[in-house]
Amino acid sequence: MIELLATVISSAFFVTVIRTTTPLLLATLGGLIADLSGALNVALEGQMLVGCLTAVIVSVYAPWYVAVLAGLGSGAVLGLVMAFFALRLKADIILVGFAINIMAAGGTVFALAMATGGDKGTSINLVSKAIPPVDLSFLGVIPGIGPVLVSLLSGHSVLSWVAAFLVFAIWYFLYRMPWGLWLRGVGEYPAAPAAAGIPVNAVRAWSLVVSGGLAGLGGAQLAMFNYVGFARDMTAGRGFIALGAVLLGARHPVGALLAALLFGAFEGLAVVMPGLFADAPAELIRMIPFIVTILALVLFSYRAQRARQMRTLSKS
């Protein structure tokens, strides 16, 4: 137990948590944008998975940043597909989302087999690249706190910094820019922006594209930093956890950051625990993030319901 505490407080664990949080955070931000525009994006999982595979395959032939952009682009394309079917052809968006998840689960394995000439399920024979860590060791010259800063801030993926910046950027976009107001209005009460001449479907389509792109970016981080290479179903429910994190984060970018950090911390715990307790069953440890998601969802829903009840009580 003491060892566990010591591990959790250490800076190495902090670095692990940042690593496990980054893909989740990117997907959560994607889910947030779609959700706020009134289009629930349940395809985050599939978009992440396709982002993973695209990034891995492109990174074999191109520099890492091209691969990352390709991962982003593949997710965005899937977002566009969603928008086309859900908004133009009026299909139920949840069914469209699950169709994309099913397509991603099968399609990635199929595409990988085609790209490698028959490998089933892992890209072990592909020499894929990794995202380089950001080296901030020059901070060490700061007297006193320098070494601590280096151990905490150095060595993160570029995308971790991008994700942190995106939390701010998305907050600014949503709450300080007219387009963000459009987006929230479309999600809140579509009839009003429609009457004001705002193209509701175009706003939703764009948010689905951005949402997919962010999920794809999360996939790139997962397959080019957390792990290097692709394995079938390597997202392992992260897209669905991100969906829960959107709700848990009270549909706000900062809340999304905190929720993603919470789930990232438990995933980090699941990463370090096998090293500490050799006999702890791996299956039960892998369950932790899912159980935490359910508990958090229930707790959050309970509080939200209480808040609603209080509001109606005070009105009447």
Partner 1 sequence: MSTMPTLAKQSRWTAVRAEVQRAVTAILVALLVTVIVVMLTSKTPFEALNTLLTAPASKPRTIGLWFDDVAKLTVTGLAFSLVFQARQFAMGVQGQVYVGALAATYVALSPLGPTFAAIPLGILAAMLAGAVWGFLPGIAKARLGANEIVSSLMLNYIAIELCNFLVRVQLREKPGVLTSLEFPDTAVFPPMIPGTRIDLGLVLALGATLLVWFALYRTAWGLKLRLVGHNARFAEYAGIKSTLIMVSAMTAAGALGGMLGAMFVQGQTYGKLTVMFEGGLAFEGILVAIVARSRPLAVPVVAIFYGYLRQGAQLMNIRTDVPAEVIGVVTAIIILLVSSSFSIPGKAWLLGLFRRPAPQTDAAVDGAAK
- Interface residue list for partner 1 (CB under 8 A): 40, 42, 85-86, 89-92, 94-96, 98-100, 102-107, 109-110, 113-114, 118, 120, 236-237, 240-241, 243-244, 247, 281, 283-284, 286-287, 290-291, 293-294, 297-298, 300-302, 304-305
Task: Give the Cα separation of 32 and 41 in Å (integer).
Answer: 9
Looking at residue 149, its amino acid is L
**Minimum CB–partner distance for residue 290 and partner 1 (Å):** 4
Residue (92 or 135) nearer to partner 1, CB: 92
Residue (18 or 51) nearer to partner 1, CB: 51
**Minimum CB–partner distance for residue 239 and partner 1 (Å):** 9
**Minimum CB–partner distance for residue 2 and partner 1 (Å):** 26
Residue (46 or 229) nearer to partner 1, CB: 46
Q: Length of the chain, please?
A: 316
Residue (31 or 68) nearer to partner 1, CB: 31
The closest of 69, 88, 109 to 213, measured between CA atoms, is: 69
Q: Are 86 and 96 in contact (CB under 8 A)?
A: yes
Buried b vs exposed e over 125-154: b needs ≥16 C-beta within 10 Å? ebebbbbeeeeeeebeeeeeeeeebbbbbb
The closest of 185, 219, 162, 204 to 48, measured between CA atoms, is: 219
Q: What is the largest CA-CA distance in the chain?
A: 68
Residue (43 or 224) nearer to partner 1, CB: 43
